[in-house]
Structure 1
Amino acid sequence: MGDMRNVVADATGPVLVLGAAGTGKTTLVADAVAARIASGAAPALVFAATRQAASELRDAIVRRAGRTTLAPQVMTIHAFCLALLRRWADAEDALPTLLTAPEQEFRIRELLRGWRGSWPAELEAAVGTRAFAQQVRAVLARARQLGLDPDQVADAGAAAGEPGWVALGEFLAEYLDVLDAEGALDYAELVHRARILLGRPEVADSVRRQFGAVYVDDWCELDPAQIALVRGLVPDGIPVVALADPDTSIYRFRGAHPRASAEFVRLFTTPAGAPEVAVLDTAWGQGVTQAEALASVARRLGAPAVDAGAAQAYRAPRPTGQGRVQACTFADGATQARHIAGELRAAHLDDGVPWGEMAVLVRSGRRQIPPLARALADAGIPVEVAGDEIGLASELAVRPLLLALDVAGRGGVPDADEAHRLLLSGWGGFDAVSIRTLGRLLRGADAEVGGTPAPTLVAEALAGLRPVPEGVDDLADRRDLLAVAAARVTAGARPDEVLWELWAGTDWPARLRAEALRPGDGAARANRDLDAIVALFQLAHESAAPGGADGVRWFLAEVAQQQIPADSQRESAVAGRGVRVLTAHRAKGRHWAFTVVAGVQEGVWPDVRRRGSVFDAQRLSSAGLGEGVVTRELVASERRLFLLACSRAQGRLLVTAVEGTEGEDDRPSRFLTELGVPVRHVVDPPVRLHTLRALVAELRRVAQDAEAAPGLREAAAARLARLADATDADGRPLAPDADPARWWGLLAPTSLTSPPRGEVVRLSPSQLEGVLTCPRRYFLNREVKAEPPRSSTTILGSVMHAVAERAASGELTYATASELLDAVWADIPFPAAWLSASERAEADAAVERFVAWQSGHEHADVVGVEVPFEAAIEVDGEVVVLAGSVDRLERTPTGDLRVVDFKTGRSLPTQAEAAASVQLGVYQLAIEAGGFEQHAPGAHSAGASLVYLRHDATPGWPKDYRQPSLAEKPHLSDDPDELAHPTWVHHQVAQARRVLAEGSFDARPGGHCQWCPVRSSCPARSGQVV
């Protein structure tokens, strides 16, 4: 390193320094600049990749200089460009405002909405979508990176015969005109303007007099415009040192490319000769195994774009550490998280690795960080997630405030779903039981509500459209608060002012503060919630959103469009006292003693989904429109990101993946085997946790174990007694579960032979079916909220229901239905590109079947789609309320009602199973009980149908099953218990009510177990009690 430091510090011309991960490139820059300061040489100008990297590098230089000096010029290229424009702005001109990425995207959407130009007909349906705006923004940035003007983009489109690109060039011109009028710049335009300014001799001469050398860290992460700016800034004869690691160039989506190293050599070659190419040949902190693993991945990237000798030395640095590499797979994500938690804790307790010296890296922040961070925190691991790692809109504590702001911006009148979510949140302070009680109070207070569903009554009360029952002060307070917030919006208040009104007007701040100060697991969660809310207020305060309803819409769009990594509003330093959980992109420039690279799944890593389905920015070049990025290049970009993640370890590396049976994203990535180390499948990882709660559990197990030695049981009991008496500084028990008074099983078991009388049970059709299929799965999914996230197949079902809704409101053709699919398809999170293509083909076929079915039923009298209902029935002398909505409700010529339920599942029922469909049966019973009285008073059920859109009955026509009406077939069997009820559906409802009332949620094995999300803990599989 010493010789290399001299080469770099004493450079007299251009030097390209190649260094693999961990070879000390940034350290070399700090040493070289400090040496220049010590020698009294002319100041150096240093470019770093990010603001945080610039700050850390500046501090490192000052420490090495060892004496008081002016702060070295260390900055990002964007900071340099902004300072340049402000320094040379005309006196009468206002200083330019730099738009953040969300602000730019919002501005683009606003301009697209009001643009007077015209898009080709095939793009009209997509223009208003967020995906379209994102792709337009990417093309705008690409054009400026290449130095292209709007007319050149339009010319490229015309030459390629693509009118969409011609229109895009015209839109770019208007976009730049609007930003000029507003005195605003986006990041790409900022660099473009700075390049133009440096073209003025007096500007270039003035800037060049301020430095005697230029150092650029992470040269291969510069886009073409930034590279051109550096070349224009540095004249021949001035030392310029570029440090590059082509194998970990990861920002191709921002215009960077690993070939930038070769571009440096080309740009700085002069008649005096080519730049010197030096190589850092020592990998500090890496062991032999890790070096071999990294080299194994790097070999699949092809040779770097430098001469062969330098490339060979660059790819083979000498390891100096003792690190090791492990690769493991697991049956599911929960097992993976438990194993990672166990390894982190063992490293801390057994090996003495500080928490702050460990990190868990993932590919996708939005999808992978929240569940993994929660799982680690639940296992007692101190976790640190930077505020800008997760989009604000995804934070659970932020959602109710944004929803309340949205409602206030629309006059303070929420719909039933919005009211339910608001009241159930921390902002509302209600729970599910109190909301149901409120609905009954509202119904009892007004005899004229008729068939109005209880959720609608609650929403109307929250909106001030009906009186709040006496004694429900919390609801009255929230109603008044929404009304005040809505009035402030009408009066022109800014979003931050309205948000503060909504926040400070409740007791939620006090509840969160108390929870944050209380010991226990809830404190960490409350602190995270408070951090997120503070970040929301900071963003609102700094937002350029105007006042009034337009400002509310502006700000909500700004929050929703925040990307990961986010903009400066949420960049935050972490304390370094916990395990970092972050994306691989955010790990660049950092190292840890123990690094876990988690969730390395095929379809997630590599993620080769096309980002530009309409406009692919990578197609645009100085020569016109090309073919864009091929899949091979996307895989190479993802491989470089994986290599970067694995190279963050300076000691121990653990790479994990899930190898299950649930779909494409349950298959380990090809990258896992490219490491060249054995992949171990962990079947049953240790689950013992080193936490206070785990200690109490272990002591209780021993104390109650009749087969344990008496002395051991007595020792366990004595320790439990000490823990039960232990309190914190405020007198609160530290281990309340150590007190035998809180233990289950010490009292004699009670029995409940009949459900408690007078209790009203409320059930939806899906809940009823879930209870009857498997009470245990129902309880874990619905009550414990252990249900997994919605899959792409489930989301597809929602999309198809939206198509059906569109059909009921007007004429539907295959073309218009396909446009609906196009508008939403890019936002469906498919785990792999091929799966997206496959599902899209099936969706198109399903749409075609639906259009055919719709045309065959065009004369049907459609009462409505997604029609809500609520009906009270009596079973076994008790009242049960059935509530939900039907996909499609038709009126027959006799005035009766028929229900149609659309299905997008892959498996088909038998005719007997369809006839016994509990869901259809509930719909029919709701009709008979007056659940649709407001639509068809006195109507009876004419039966129901299941329409399976994924399957053909005849080519191009969906499979259709009919369920007889309850009048035709009131019972399905000769079971005496069933015959004791009016219909077979009454019997099913009675069974479900009995399960819920008794609280006996047993496991019921069956064919459904194959797809059960909670089967790993099912006692029916293991024969044990859980």
Structure 2
Amino acid sequence: MYDLNPEQRKAIEHGEGPLLVIAGPGSGKTRVITQRIVHLLETVPGLRPEHILALTFTDKAAGEMRSRVSKELPGLDAGPHISTFHAFCYHVLRRRHFERKLLDKVDIWIFLRRRMEHLGLEYYQKLAAPGAFLHDLNSFFSQCQDELIGPDEFEAWVRKRQKEFQSRAAQLDPTERELQQEEIRKQQELARVFRTSRRLIEEAGYSSLGTLISEVVQLWEREPESLDEYRRGFKYILVDEFQDSNYGQVQLLRHLVAPPFNITAVGDPDQAIYRFRGAAHGTFEMFKEVFPAPTEIYLNRNYRSTRKILRASDAVIARNTRDGTKPKLVTENPEGSNVFLLSSSDYAVEASGVARLVEDLARRKKTFRDIAVLYRAHAHRDLLVREFRKRKIPFVIRGLSLLSTTVIRDLLAYLRLVHSPHDNISMTRVLLQRRWKIPDDLAMELRKRAATNRCSIYDALREAEQSLFKNELENTRWPELKTLLGELRKKSLHASVTSILDQMSEHLGLKFLPESSDAACLVAFRKFLADWEEKSETRKLPEFMEYFNYFLEAGGKIEAPEPPESVNAVQMMTVHSSKGLEFPVVFILSVAPRRFPHGEQKPLIEFPDELRKGPVPPANLHLEEERRLFYVAMTRAEEQLYISSVGKKGKKRSVFIDDLLSDPVVQGRDISEIDLDEIPEKKGAEKAAARGTAKGNGPVQPGLFGEHIPGPDSIHPPLAEWALAAPAVHLNSKLRLSATAIETYLDCPLKFKFSHLYRIPTGPQAALTFGNIMHQSVRQYFKLRKDGEVSFDELSRFYLGSWKNVGFEDSYQEETYRKTGLNQLREFTERHNAIPIAAEKVQMEVHFELDMQDVVLEGRIDQINPAPENPSQVQLIDYKTGRPRSQKDADTSLQLSVYALAARKQLGLEPQGLIFYNLTNNQPVASVRTHKELEAVQQKIVAIAGEIRRMIFPPTPGFQCRFCEFVSICPAHEEDF
């Protein structure tokens, strides 16, 4: 047996009865599990491998455990049963003739999105994004399943709440009574949707991963003979990473493990970081309740880190509420170098400083692969990636989405064009590729024609074949592209998606070297398509495109292949991805408020504590989990640890920095502070020398897998170069801007550039179609009002007659919009018929063009009314059909400010009030603007126009990107390695 410490040996050689192993980081946990299996097989008489069940939480972890056991016991014909909880439960159910296919959480989202009309949503629906609340609903239902709560139990709880409310309703004031009544209605909707969604899934022959545990528990309670079969079969059970379990999994083990309770659970409550995956609080307490008086063994001898790193780590994790009997980590490793606390005034300084330190480490004979950079969220690495590229520091990024890589985004653009050649965003991307030899000025002219003629770029190309551009097109390879798309479109009517991809790849000449990142990505994407074909009905492109659009909307991710271990490059990854790994040198990036710890995002649908069957989480659960995550990051380091704090001097810093410095002994003995703002940039020659002396470092372009291997001209358009270059447009004359265009620029300058300068036409959108129809109907109301009160029947006929089936995702969204519009117009009609209106004095759709220095501000004011109190003044009204605008929205609205400027300076009117009229709830929100405020707005508009003239168009990635049409051609969302 290996050289074991006393605690490891005790855990491995433990006899019968429950065993709880609390294994700190770097304490040899995996070795203990593997060796315990070996020890049991070698020492327990009559025990065979199939008598042992080992459970874990990911396929990767199960595969690694199988590999380790097979290496230790190479002569076995069959090894122990090692699998995830879900795979084990599926195996149990399959043996009972369970034939349902399994759906993961993304597939569940897609399944329910296709059946929205059956869910009967009222509170949990959003017109512009019908599936917006499905994640929240599914997360809530998943938590119910983790607690072994089904629709019946949840409905009973809702009925109980309703009775309690009814018993006290009379004592409540009207406002509170209405609030509580609305909450009951929401709970009733949850109960109804929970039951309906479960029924729909089961009737279609599917089951969710979340229900497998409860279905097995129910099976065993219903059929004890089935449970007895497994109890007899599995004499020893081991569970790895027990801190990641939940109530349902503990109850599964309670059923499965019979006296003398030969179960071994291994984990560390200080490393419980997967609550977002369903891990529950207090699983070790649950274990002790289910298996009383277990033998507890602490593995606290760390073989990974230096003593200084461990003392610093303990100073942080000690701030959490913990088991007081758990000993501190100890090690026989040397003291090591101090933990370096870096400080930077901003994130740009941090990126530059960390890159310089990496260069310095390389100069001091550390290989790049020895260095890991960990961060709380993927976006936190962006500035450092730029620095690494600039300095030619090789790096790899783990945990990337395949869908953010250039080669896959290119292939998706081709697939979308085969499905619909009128997809303008995809056509823009494909025409960028040098293979087709479309000059930029010709592409620009085609986009202009498409926008002017309100047609697709494809239509503009076909029209150009017969126009003055015919000669220019003859010098391109447009005919070849048109033929390719046509051939593949015909094939797509009968062939599978994978065969379309194969023919496309062959035609485009995608023959990458086997070790290139593009080749690995292409293989992974083809596997994704093949896996989809297995669960599809037709295997054809139209069905796939519908599925894939929903897949993206559901937040689906295809993980990119892991880089080979042999690559000599800095390892970059999120802290979650680093769990289970170790590196000689670790940098923890961007430790700052709202970054690390990350801001808490409370669920839209809170899980009631009354329904919890395990321990109730503490109030500070989020902060404690973030602290555990920081502890995991620190304990990845073997020899050197750099913690990077960002913030202005004197400002509040991350609580984790305070934790780190809370122990005066650790602060004085184990921490060295470095101010990155005070370290001057090395001269170019020194930097080059530093790079040149790094072990194994050649003159390479950083890539996804280290060295970059260029692909053929048929792929990888110069997207970033094109998107960030100054557009070939002349802005010498007056710049014409609308309030919408200015707001677009403020949201994202690059989006403004794509839309207003590159003139990339986008498709119709449901919200815009609905908004236009509602505006037309409001105008019609005031037109009819001139003759007296308006009949809703007459207005509704106009509304339905004006309806356009354009831009809606599906019939469900269209019908929901249509019904919503009718309800809003009915209330609008009743409200306005009840008040006196001088309809003949109401002005609708008033156009303006306001000359402001070198800017012309243009637009339309929805409605101008005489002010009721002062006929010499007016009210300017803007109708809104989406989210009801608040008072703050009205007070800060650029659009209302522009209306006021135009009214005063061009129309000669004095606005007494600026009003957002929310059609959603038929409530107006009024605001005013002072002359000083309007002067500031005018200066702001002139300043923005100046930035546009100077061609300043950086992307500003953020939450709003989820709703942007240009994401697939935005370099900020592309990993161009």
Name the TM-score, length of structure 2 as normaliser. 0.66
Q: What displacement does 1:543 show?
A: 5.7
Quote the Cα distance in structure 1 between the aligned partners of 2:659 and 2:96.
52
What are the ranges of 5 or more consecutive residues in structure 1 without an aligned counterpart? 444-451, 518-522, 700-719, 721-727, 732-758, 787-797, 814-854, 868-874, 876-881, 925-940, 965-971, 973-984, 1002-1026
Structure 2 residue aligned with 1:656: 644
State whether residues 594 and 649 of structure 1, in contact with CA within 8 Å, keep that contact through their aligned partners in structure 2: yes
- Structure 1 residues 767 and 59 mapped into 2: Cα distance closer, same or farther (>3 Å)? farther
- The answer to whether structure 1 residue 681 and structure 2 residue 693 are counterparts is no
Structure 1 residue aligned with 2:275: 252
User: How big is each residue's C-alpha offset from its partner over 1:520-556, in whole Å with a ceiling of 9 and x where there is no partner?
Assistant: xxx9886787577556656655563644634421122
Structure 1 residue aligned with 2:873: none
State whether residues 242 and 283 of structure 2, in contact with CA within 8 Å, keep that contact through their aligned partners in structure 1: yes
- Structure 1 residues 128 and 336 mapped into 2: Cα distance closer, same or farther (>3 Å)? same
Tell me which of 546, 553, 558 is aligned to 1:553.
546
**Helix, strand or coil for the counterpart of 2:110?**
helix
- Structure 1 residues 760 and 391 mapped into 2: Cα distance closer, same or farther (>3 Å)? closer
Structure 1 residue aligned with 2:380: 368
User: How big is each residue's C-alpha offset from its partner over 1:182-211, in whole Å with a ceiling of 9 and x where there is no partner?
Assistant: 332211112222223344333233323433
**Helix, strand or coil for the counterpart of 1:34?**
helix
User: How big is each residue's C-alpha offset from its partner over 1:361-412, in whole Å with a ceiling of 9 and x where there is no partner?
Assistant: 22223x33566545434533332334xx233444444345445544554x43
Structure 1 residue aligned with 2:151: 150
Q: What displacement does 1:961 show?
A: 7.5
User: How big is each residue's C-alpha offset from its partner over 1:565-613, in whole Å with a ceiling of 9 and x where there is no partner?
Assistant: x57x756574352333222222222222212221223223323443522
Question: Any residues of structure 2 matched to 1:300-379 within 5 Å, and which?
Answer: 300-304=319-323, 308=324, 310-311=325-326, 313=327, 315-318=328-331, 320-321=333-334, 322=336, 324-353=338-367, 355=369, 357-365=370-378, 367-368=379-380, 372-373=384-385, 375-379=387-391
User: How big is each residue's C-alpha offset from its partner over 1:323-363, in whole Å with a ceiling of 9 and x where there is no partner?
Assistant: 642222324334323333333343344143461x3322222
Quote the Cα distance in structure 1 between the aligned partners of 2:592 and 2:683.
27
**Helix, strand or coil for the counterpart of 2:477?**
helix
- The answer to whether structure 1 residue 959 and structure 2 residue 929 are counterparts is yes
Structure 2 residue aligned with 1:460: 459
Q: Which amino acid aligns with 2:202?
A: D
Range 259-268 or range 472-481, more displaced: 472-481
- The answer to whether structure 1 residue 61 and structure 2 residue 69 are counterparts is yes
**Helix, strand or coil for the counterpart of 1:604?**
coil
Structure 2 residue aligned with 1:606: 597
- The answer to whether structure 1 residue 215 and structure 2 residue 215 are counterparts is no
State whether residues 358 and 579 of structure 1, in contact with CA within 8 Å, keep that contact through their aligned partners in structure 2: yes
User: How big is each residue's C-alpha offset from its partner over 1:932-980, in whole Å with a ceiling of 9 and x where there is no partner?
Assistant: xxxxxxxxx9799999999xxx99314387999xxxxxxx9xxxxxxxx
- Structure 1 residues 992 and 398 mapped into 2: Cα distance closer, same or farther (>3 Å)? closer
**Helix, strand or coil for the counterpart of 2:273?**
coil
Quote the Cα distance in structure 2 between the aligned partners of 1:856 and 1:331.
59
Name the TM-score, length of structure 1 as normaliser. 0.63
Q: Which amino acid aligns with 2:112?
A: I
Q: Which amino acid aligns with 1:461?
A: A
- Structure 1 residues 152 and 324 mapped into 2: Cα distance closer, same or farther (>3 Å)? same
User: How big is each residue's C-alpha offset from its partner over 1:879-932, in whole Å with a ceiling of 9 and x where there is no partner?
Assistant: xxx9x9966477999xxxx999999899999x9x999x9xx9xxx9xxxxxxxx
Question: Any residues of structure 2 matched to 1:577-592 within 5 Å, and which?
Answer: 577=567, 578-592=569-583
**Helix, strand or coil for the counterpart of 2:135?**
helix
Tell me which of 623, 627, 633 is aligned to 1:645.
633
Tell me which of 185, 199, 205 is aligned to 1:163.
185
- The answer to whether structure 1 residue 391 and structure 2 residue 401 are counterparts is yes
Quote the Cα distance in structure 2 between the aligned partners of 1:630 and 1:221.
17
Q: What displacement does 1:458 show?
A: 3.7
Range 153-162 or range 244-253, more displaced: 153-162
Q: Which amino acid aligns with 1:37?
A: L
Q: Which amino acid aligns with 2:94?
A: R
**Helix, strand or coil for the counterpart of 2:114?**
helix
- Structure 1 residues 167 and 244 mapped into 2: Cα distance closer, same or farther (>3 Å)? same
State whether residues 157 and 164 of structure 1, in contact with CA within 8 Å, keep that contact through their aligned partners in structure 2: no
Structure 2 residue aligned with 1:186: 208
Tell me which of 70, 76, 94 is aligned to 2:78.
70
Q: Which amino acid aligns with 1:594?
A: V
Q: Which amino acid aligns with 2:304?
A: G
- The answer to whether structure 1 residue 671 and structure 2 residue 656 are counterparts is yes
Higher relative contact order (CA 8 A, sep 6+): 2
**Helix, strand or coil for the counterpart of 1:598?**
strand
Tell me which of 600, 606, 614 is aligned to 1:616.
606
- Structure 1 residues 688 and 781 mapped into 2: Cα distance closer, same or farther (>3 Å)? farther
Structure 2 residue aligned with 1:544: 536
- The answer to whether structure 1 residue 196 and structure 2 residue 218 are counterparts is yes
**Helix, strand or coil for the counterpart of 1:160?**
helix
State whether residues 250 and 585 of structure 1, in contact with CA within 8 Å, keep that contact through their aligned partners in structure 2: yes
User: How big is each residue's C-alpha offset from its partner over 1:256-302, in whole Å with a ceiling of 9 and x where there is no partner?
Assistant: 23411111111101xxxx11111112122222222122112212211
Structure 2 residue aligned with 1:174: 196
**Helix, strand or coil for the counterpart of 1:283?**
coil
Q: What displacement does 1:697 show?
A: 12
- Structure 1 residues 396 and 216 mapped into 2: Cα distance closer, same or farther (>3 Å)? same
**Helix, strand or coil for the counterpart of 2:585?**
strand
State whether residues 899 and 944 of structure 1, in contact with CA within 8 Å, keep that contact through their aligned partners in structure 2: no
Quote the Cα distance in structure 2 between the aligned partners of 1:290 and 1:75.
34
- Structure 1 residues 430 and 467 mapped into 2: Cα distance closer, same or farther (>3 Å)? same
**Helix, strand or coil for the counterpart of 1:98?**
strand
- Structure 1 residues 180 and 694 mapped into 2: Cα distance closer, same or farther (>3 Å)? same
Structure 2 residue aligned with 1:35: 39
- The answer to whether structure 1 residue 101 and structure 2 residue 100 are counterparts is no
Structure 1 residue aligned with 2:137: 136
**Helix, strand or coil for the counterpart of 1:326?**
strand
Quote the Cα distance in structure 2 between the aligned partners of 1:17 and 1:48.
15
Q: Which amino acid aligns with 1:632?
A: N
State whether residues 775 and 879 of structure 2, in contact with CA within 8 Å, keep that contact through their aligned partners in structure 1: no
Structure 2 residue aligned with 1:709: none
Q: Which amino acid aligns with 2:113?
A: R
State whether residues 215 and 241 of structure 1, in contact with CA within 8 Å, keep that contact through their aligned partners in structure 2: yes
User: How big is each residue's C-alpha offset from its partner over 1:200-244, in whole Å with a ceiling of 9 and x where there is no partner?
Assistant: 333233323433321111111101111111221111114211112
Quote the Cα distance in structure 2 between the aligned partners of 1:809 and 1:899.
15
User: How big is each residue's C-alpha offset from its partner over 1:449-497, in whole Å with a ceiling of 9 and x where there is no partner?
Assistant: xxx63895745325779747324243444444445555555x3655545
- Structure 1 residues 809 and 767 mapped into 2: Cα distance closer, same or farther (>3 Å)? closer
Quote the Cα distance in structure 2 between the aligned partners of 1:857 and 1:58.
82
**Helix, strand or coil for the counterpart of 1:153?**
helix
Q: What displacement does 1:671 show?
A: 1.9
- Structure 1 residues 963 and 39 mapped into 2: Cα distance closer, same or farther (>3 Å)? closer
Quote the Cα distance in structure 2 between the aligned partners of 1:766 and 1:685.
44
Structure 1 residue aligned with 2:96: 88
User: How big is each residue's C-alpha offset from its partner over 1:15-64, in whole Å with a ceiling of 9 and x where there is no partner?
Assistant: 11112222222221122222223336523322223222222222223334
Range 24-33 or range 222-231, more displaced: 24-33
Q: Which amino acid aligns with 2:401?
A: G
Tell me which of 309, 313, 317 is aligned to 1:298.
317
Structure 1 residue aligned with 2:304: 285
Q: What displacement does 1:3 show?
A: 2.5
**Helix, strand or coil for the counterpart of 1:328?**
strand
Supply the RMSD in Å over aligned alpha carbons: 5.6
**Paired positions, count:** 768
Quote the Cα distance in structure 1 between the aligned partners of 2:691 and 2:629.
42
State whether residues 601 and 658 of structure 1, in contact with CA within 8 Å, keep that contact through their aligned partners in structure 2: yes
State whether residues 96 and 184 of structure 1, in contact with CA within 8 Å, keep that contact through their aligned partners in structure 2: yes
Quote the Cα distance in structure 2 between the aligned partners of 1:762 and 1:474.
32
Quote the Cα distance in structure 1 between the aligned partners of 2:877 and 2:521.
44
Structure 1 residue aligned with 2:811: none
State whether residues 17 and 294 of structure 2, in contact with CA within 8 Å, keep that contact through their aligned partners in structure 1: yes
Q: Which amino acid aligns with 1:125?
A: K
